[in-house]
Amino acid sequence: MIAVDTNILVYAHRPEFPFHDPAKRLISEIAAQARPWGLILHCLVEFAGVVSHPRRFRVPSSPGQIQDQIQAWSESPTVALLEDGPAVLTCFLELLCKAGVSGPMVHDARIAAVCIAGGVDELLTCDRDYSRFPSLKTRNPFVG
């Protein structure tokens, strides 16, 4: 299963980003495949916070636009919503100690734990911080 990180979701939603068209196309292609793919609940929450932030965007996304976007992604018949569960907590605590993360990196450890416990084979992201978690394969789809 492939999962998609917040930054890819933001790029796909907001047209002012240079990676908007490739990100939008990427998610459409993933959603159209027979292979399962995942949307991580925490990433959807973070996505909503980022795209609605008035200091980041001259015209931020409205709650209705955010709802429409998330619903559109959720309509893919092969999408799975990945969220916390007992296995995630165990994995999170292991990652926290092994990687020695603190501060904002704790959020990344939580995302990594959700992916690992949820059976994600690859997380698509532009964030290199996930390299601290070698048990999670990541790929930046916009780099050669």
Coil, helix or strand at residue 47? helix
Enumerate domains of the chain plus CATH numbers: 2-139 (3.40.50.1010)
3-state secondary structure of 82: strand
pTM over the 0.85 mark = yes
Sheet with 79-82: strands ordered across: 79-82, 37-40, 2-4, 122-124, 138-139
- Tens of pLDDT along 42-62? 999 999 999 999 999 999 999
CA 51 to CA 10: how far, in whole Å?
7
CB-facing half-sphere around the CA of 1: CA atoms within 13 A? 19
Residue pLDDT, tens place only, 8-39: 999 999 999 999 999 999 999 999 999 999 99
